[in-house]
Structure 1
Amino acid sequence: MIPDWRPLRQELARLRAANIELPIWWRDDDAIAATPQLDQLAQLSGDLGVSTHLAVIPARATPTLAAAVTTLPNVIPVAHGWTHENRAPAGEKKAEFGHGRADATFDLERGFSQMRQMFGKRFVPVFVAPWNRLNAMYFQPLSDVGYKAVSTFTPRNSAEAVPGLITVNTHIDPIDWRGTRGLVAPDAIIAEAARHLEARRLGASDPAEPFGYLTHHLVHTPEIWDFTRAFLSELLAGGARETSLQTVIEESQ
């Protein structure tokens, strides 16, 4: 089945007509090692000319990943929690930093230090919350540790979580996590993306927030890879411009 790209193309045209810029960024979660899937991710990123922000699990990351990233200039390492283990109370939704716990700040510090040690200046100080859940009580500790941005999912409520810590979320996830774990119906993804862009155009969400696409390279099916290429290509052809969170951070300072 060929996707119907018309709703997305029409909304992109409306943004252009309204002179509203559409910065886009790409985040990919759960990296721990060099794998063929990482190679495929980097190849696609290079083909599209869209940098991939690779959310690395610090406590589980291997030296092979650090070595691979040094050879992949379009892959940008960011931190994905500390261990990506569920620390939520029984009965609550999964989260590593969704609830108060005595050792949380220590884990944030360890994660930041590990990322600096493994990736040096390549590490961009962005904290990606495991399961996209992050309690506001951790905003200031994250800033104190040295992070400059946080990222979860759905449009942000404010440009800064706390002064000096910007929020840059993702908006589209093509994986059917609660069903087949394959590709969500393409027309449904396209319709969702068009709704997000309409909300930006009408001022119902922040038009300055880069529009984020979220993937998980380790579990992609061929259909997810193909849709990712097509979707990002459509955004670029429709006038979107690629941005990196390093640039977003620098522009916010």
Structure 2
Amino acid sequence: MSPDWQPLMIELQRWEQADLTLPLWWRDDDAITVTPQLEKLTLISVQLGLPVHLAVIPQPAEVSLAEYVSDQAALIPVVHGWAHQNHAPIGEKKAEFRLHQPIEAIVSDARAGLTRLRNLFGDQLRPMFVPPWNRIDPKVTAHLRGLGFRIVSTSTPRKTPLAAPGLEQVNTHLDPIDWRGTRGLADPEELISQVVTLLQDRRAGLADNAEAFGVLTHHLVHDQDIWTFTKDLLHRLLDGPGVPWIAPCNKTLGEPE
């Protein structure tokens, strides 16, 4: 049964009446190699006209992925940590870039991730760091600009435009997967309600509408319900106030300051 999109359509009409635009971006995590799921993600991106920022795990990333992405303008590679390895002790939330190792080792992993993906993707790579599980310690964040990154991306509405001097924060705001339950599509009515609330906050000036509104997906674990909902949501946003946002290039990517 199709979800009730009417609450969202009403909110989008209010955006139109207020002559507002919504910067909109798409991030998809955990790419390593070419799969049928990645090909489906690419097709949907092309159909929507909304590029996907593909968060690639550097350590296991395959050359075949870089070869595929080189022919796909719809896919924009960014750095997804290093090995997507959990260093947190039992009982703590999973993290690769919190202070569970010496800071020197953590920064070295971030540097290695940038170097490996720059070698694989060249100028296609955007200077964005996406920590696995959307968790990173501020002391680690403070080093990212010096490594060559210009953007860090986690989740939930940002509190400030900059995560550190010279480092922009551009987060994701909606993840359609029910990670703690079925690992399928979360309740679509609740997801729609979440989007409406987030948009209302932006329209009312309670949240930063200069931050691109991010939808987060994980192509490797999608079922058909997740694909369908994601495509329908993005289509409605783009038909309304949504304007595609793409992370900027940086010719000095990877060169410390």
- Normalised-by-shorter TM-score class: over 0.9
Q: In the aligned structure 1, how far is the partner of 2:149 from the partner of 2:9?
A: 36
Q: Secondary structure at the match of 2:24?
A: strand
Any gaps of 5 or more consecutive residues in structure 1?
249-253
Q: Write the mapping of 1:42-191 to structure 2, written as runs, cut at 5 A.
A: 42-102=42-102, 103-191=105-193
Counterpart AA for 2:66: A
2:226 paired residue number: 224
For 1:59, what is the secondary structure of its paired residue?
coil
The farther-off stretch of 121-130 and 88-97 is 88-97
Aligned 8 A contact 2:141 2:163 in 1: yes
Amino acid at match of 2:183: R
Amino acid at match of 1:114: R
**RMSD of the TM alignment (CA)?**
1.3
Query: TM-score, normalising length from structure 2?
Result: 0.94
Q: Distance in 1 between matches of 2:155 and 2:10?
A: 24
Q: What is the match of residue 241 of structure 1?
A: 243
Looking at structure 1, the residues matched to 91 and 230 of structure 2 have their Cα atoms a distance apart, in angstroms, of 34
Q: Partners in 1 of 2:29 and 2:162 — Cα distance?
A: 22
Greater mean alpha carbon deviation, residues 45-54 or residues 158-167: 158-167
* Runs of 4+, deviation exceeding 6 Å: none
Can you list the C-alpha shifts for 1:31-84, whole angstroms capped at 9, x where unaligned?
Answer: 000111111000000000000000000001011111111111110000000011
Q: Which amino acid aligns with 1:154?
A: T
AA aligned to 1:218 is: L
Equivalent residues in 2 for 1:7-26, closer than 5 Å: 7-26=7-26
Deviations, residues 102-134 of structure 1 (Å, cap 9, x unaligned): 210111110110110000000001001100111
- Equivalent residue number for residue 251 of structure 1: none
1:180 Cα deviation from its structure 2 partner: 0.6
Cα deviation for residue 89 of structure 1 reads 2.8
**Separation (CA, whole Å) in 2 of partners of 1:69 and 1:247:** 16
3-state SS in 2 of match to 1:54: strand
CA separation in 2, counterparts of 1:159 and 1:36? 36
Inter-partner Cα distance in structure 1 for 2:249 and 2:22: 15
Partner amino acid, structure 2, of 1:171: H
* 1:198 to 2:200 alignment: yes
Q: Distance in 2 between matches of 1:98 and 1:7?
A: 38
Q: CA deviation at 1:175?
A: 0.5
Aligned partner letter, 2:187? A
The structural deviation recorded for 1:247 is 7.2
Please report how far the alpha carbon of residue 19 of structure 1 lies from its aligned counterpart in structure 2 after TM superposition: 2.5
Question: Can you give the 5+ residue segments of structure 2 that lack an aligned partner in the other structure?
Answer: 251-257
Using structure 1 for the length normalisation, give the TM-score.
0.95
Match of 1:33 in 2: 33
CA contact (8 A) 2:81 2:96 kept: yes
The total of aligned residue pairs comes to 248
Higher helix proportion? 1
Where 1:223 maps in the other structure, the secondary structure is helix
Q: Name the CA distance, whole Å, in 2 between partners of 1:89 and 1:224.
A: 31
The answer as to whether partners of 2:127 and 2:249 remain within 8 angstroms in 1 is: no
Counterpart of 2:254 in structure 1 is none
Conserved? CA contact 2:87–2:100, under 8 Å: no
Q: How far apart are residue 100 of structure 1 and its match?
A: 4.9
